[in-house]
Structure 1
Amino acid sequence: MAGADSGLTVTAVDTIQAIDRTRWNEVVDRCDLATVFHRYEWLEAIERGLGYPARHILVEKDTNLIGLFPNFIVGIPKTPFDRLTSIYPGFGGPLLSTDVAEALSHLIEGIPDLCAGRTIVHEIRASNTNFLRYNDPLETEGYDSSRAGGRFLLNLARGYDVIFEEMDSSRRRAIRRGRDHDHEIDDVEPSRANLRRFYEGYRTRMEHIDGTVYPFDFFDHLRPMADRLVLVSLTIDGEYAGGFLALCNDEQSTVHGFFAGVPSAYFEYHASELVYDYLFRWGIDNGYERYDFGGSGANFEDGAFRFKEKFGGRLVPNLYWERATSPAWRLVKTGRSLYWRYAN
C-alpha cells in the first residue's frame, strides 16, 4: 500500500509477528478507543490458535507508528466466501493517535487491496460506542451500518447489594439455592492444566448448544496475557463442575464474559448463576465499572438473551459496518436477511 505525500505511510502485514510487541501495544495504550481486543497478545492468539490469516494495516508518520487497524480473513457461515473482519473473535476498529482524519482516509482507501478472490466484504465490529465518531467517513466510503446486534452490560459501579436486589427474582433465588450446596468457587491461575480442565467443560457445553467450539490451541495461546484473564473454577460436592474464562478490558474498565464452561449436568445446582455471581463480585472488588455478558443477539425470544437479561444488565447495541468488495456480497447479504427472517 502506497505512502501518502503528507508524510504518512500506510502498509499492510500478514502476521502480527512482523511488528514489535512493545511498539504495537504503545499505540493501543495511547488511544482512547482502544480495547483489550486490540492488544498484540489477543491478535497473536487468534492468528496462532485459530489460524485466521491476518491483514493488519499500519500507519506511520516519520517512522513513528501512529495508527493500527487489525483485520483477519474469516469464513462467512453457510457460504463458500470469506469476510475481512476487525476483529473476530472480539471487537476491533481503527486506532489512530494523531493525524486522525487523514490517516483514517488512507486506511479506508487501502481496504479493497486486501480483499481478493473469495473475500467479498469488509466488516468492522466495535464494542466501544465512541467509534460512532467515524460513522460519517465510513458511510461516505460505502460502509453500511444497518446490521443489528447487541449485548448486555451490567453497571458494576452501583455495588453488589444494588445489583443483587435489582436482578430478576428468579436469578436471586437461583443464586441463593446454589449457595446452599457444598461448593467452592475461585479464580485460578490460567495454567495449561487449568485451561485444559476448563476446556473440557467448555467444549461439552458448546457442543450441547451447537455452538462454535474453538480449539484448545486458541486458549493455550492466550496464556501470555494471563494478567488479563480471569479463569473461574467451580467445584460442587468436591467435584469439578465447570468454570468460566473472562477477559479484562482495562482500557475500557470492563470484564468481558466470553467463554462459559459449565456443562448442563450441573445446571440443577445453579452452577451458571454461581459463576456469574462470582464474576460480578470479582469485578467490583477489582475496580471494574462494567460487566459485559458477550453477544446476546437481538431476539428477546432467544434463551441466552432471556437468561442474561434477568441479571439486570442494560441492552446496548454492537456497532457493525459492512462494505462490499465484490458483487457477490449483495447475494450473500440477501440470503442472510432471509435466513434471519425465517429461521425461527
Structure 2
Amino acid sequence: MRIVRFLDGGTWRHFVESQPASNIFHTPEMFQVFTRAKRHRPMLWAVTDNGGQVLALLLPVQITLRGGFLRRLTTRAVVYGSVLYEPGSAGKEALAFLLHAYAQEAGREVLFTELRNLSDLSAVQPVLNDCGFLYEDHLNYLIDLDRPAEDVMQSIGARTRKHIQRGLKKREVVVEEITGRGQIGACYDLLRKSYAAARVPLADRSLFEAAFDVLHHQGMVKFWLARVGDAYVATSVELLYKGVMYGWYGGVDRAYAGYTPGELLMWHILKWGVENGYRLYDFGGAGRPDVEYGVRDFKAKFGGTLVNYGRNTRVHAPALLHLSRWGYTVYRQLFLRARLKNARSGDFSR
C-alpha cells in the first residue's frame, strides 16, 4: 500500500461510483467547486494497492476565516463527506494507514479536522478512534422520497402541513429555479441575511458561483428562490448525486415569516424530488442532541427519520484551538453584530 496525493479523474470517479456509501462530497466535481472558492483549499489523500486500485479516500477542505497572521488561528479542515474506503479488512487497514499519515502533516496547518459522517460508520469507529478522531453525537433527518408526493405531504407535521396547504391555495409565494449565474446574487443576499441573524460566518459568494459553474450543467445542483410579489424571501441550494438530494444552504427573510416561505419552498423541493426520481432527501445535519438548535426544529416538522451518524474530530493543536475559540467568541459578538445591523438595513457592502 502507498499514499498518493493525486488521482486521475477516471480512477477517482470509478472508485467513488462503485462504493455504496459514497456521496457527492467524494466526487471530483465537488473538489473542483472547493478549489475555486475563496478561503477554501481542498486536498486529496488516498491509499492504493500495488496495482493502483484505490482502497481509501480522504478529501479534507481547509477553511480559513482570516488570512495573514491570523490564518493559523482561523483554519480548520472539514471532510464534508467523511471517509470512503473499500469494504473489508484491506480497506480498514488502508484507512488506518491513511489517517495516521494525514494527521502527521495536518497538525502543521490546521487546528482540527472534522469528519462529517453522512452514513453509518460504526464498522470503522474503532479505526477512527485509534487514529485520534473522536466520536461525538450529531443528528440528521432523512426523508424517504421513493413514494407518492401525497404520502410525503401526509408525513409532514399537521400544523406545518396546514400552513403549506393554505399557502398553496393563496399562491402568494412563487418558487423559481435559478437558471443563470447572474441570479446567484439574490440567493446570496438572502443567505447573508439569515447567517448574520444567526451570527454564523457564511462562505464567500465564490463558493456558490463555483457550484453553479461546475455542477449546474451536470445536473448536480439546484438553486431555488421563493418570492412574494417582487421581493425574494427565501432560498435553498440542493446538491444532487446518485438519487439523493442534499440540503446544502438555505435562508429566509424573517420579515416575511407570515407567508411561511421556508415551508412552502421546502415542500416544492421535496415534491420536485419525488417527481424526478430521487429516493432520499438528506437535510445535511440537525445539530448535537444536547444543544438547542432552531434549525433542527424546522427540519423536524417535515417528518423525516432522525438518524445519529455523528461526527469524528481530531484536534491537532489544542493550545491554539483554545485561543482561537476565545477569539471566535469576540468575533461573533463584534463583527457579526455589525453584519446583522447591515443586513437589517439592507446594506450588504461589507
1:34 aligns with 2:18: no
Quick one: which of 219, 226, 231 aligns to 2:223?
Answer: 231
**Shift in alpha-carbon separation, 1:300–1:136, aligned structure 2, 3 A:** closer
Alignment of 1:3-14 (within 5 A): 8-12=1-5
- The superposition leaves residues 89-121 of structure 1 with CA deviations (integer Å, 9 ceiling, x where unpaired) of xx3213337841332232122122222336344
Residue 249 of structure 1 aligns with an amino acid whose one-letter code is: Y
Task: Decide whether the 8 Å contact of 1:153 with 1:290 is kept in 2.
Answer: yes
Task: Decide whether the 8 Å contact of 1:55 with 1:114 is kept in 2.
Answer: no
Alignment of 1:4-153 (within 5 A): 8-12=1-5, 19-62=7-50, 64-66=52-54, 67-74=56-63, 80=73, 82-87=75-80, 91-96=81-86, 99-117=90-108, 119-129=110-120, 131-145=121-135, 147-153=136-142
**Long gaps (5+) in structure 1:** 1-7, 13-17, 336-344
Q: Which residue of 2 aligns with 1:313?
A: 304
Task: Decide whether the 8 Å contact of 1:156 with 1:284 is kept in 2.
Answer: yes
- The superposition leaves residues 179-211 of structure 1 with CA deviations (integer Å, 9 ceiling, x where unpaired) of 21334324342x311222222222222222223
Task: Decide whether the 8 Å contact of 1:183 with 1:238 is kept in 2.
Answer: no
Residue 115 of structure 1 aligns with an amino acid whose one-letter code is: A
Residue correspondences, number: 315
1:171 aligns with 2:160: yes
SS of equivalent to 2:141 = strand
Distance in 2, Cα, partners of 1:80 & 1:330: 7
**Shift in alpha-carbon separation, 1:153–1:161, aligned structure 2, 3 A:** same
CA RMSD of aligned residues (A): 3.0
SS of equivalent to 2:224 = strand
**Long gaps (5+) in structure 2:** 327-350
Deviation at 1:329, TM superposition (A): 8.0
Quick one: which of 127, 148, 166 aligns to 1:159?
Answer: 148
Residue 254 of structure 2 aligns with an amino acid whose one-letter code is: S
Quick one: which of 172, 175, 196 aligns to 1:207?
Answer: 196
- The superposition leaves residues 276-324 of structure 1 with CA deviations (integer Å, 9 ceiling, x where unpaired) of 0001101111122221222221257432222221221222113322234
Distance in 2, Cα, partners of 1:204 & 1:279: 21
1:248 aligns with 2:236: no
Deviation at 1:128, TM superposition (A): 1.1
Residue 313 of structure 2 aligns with an amino acid whose one-letter code is: E
- The superposition leaves residues 145-201 of structure 1 with CA deviations (integer Å, 9 ceiling, x where unpaired) of 1x1221211222243222222322220121123221334324342x31122222222
- The superposition leaves residues 231-262 of structure 1 with CA deviations (integer Å, 9 ceiling, x where unpaired) of 22323335443321111132xx3211221133
Distance in 2, Cα, partners of 1:160 & 1:300: 32
Distance in 2, Cα, partners of 1:150 & 1:24: 29
Identity over aligned pairs, percent: 20
The alignment's TM-score, normalised by the length of structure 1, stands at 0.80
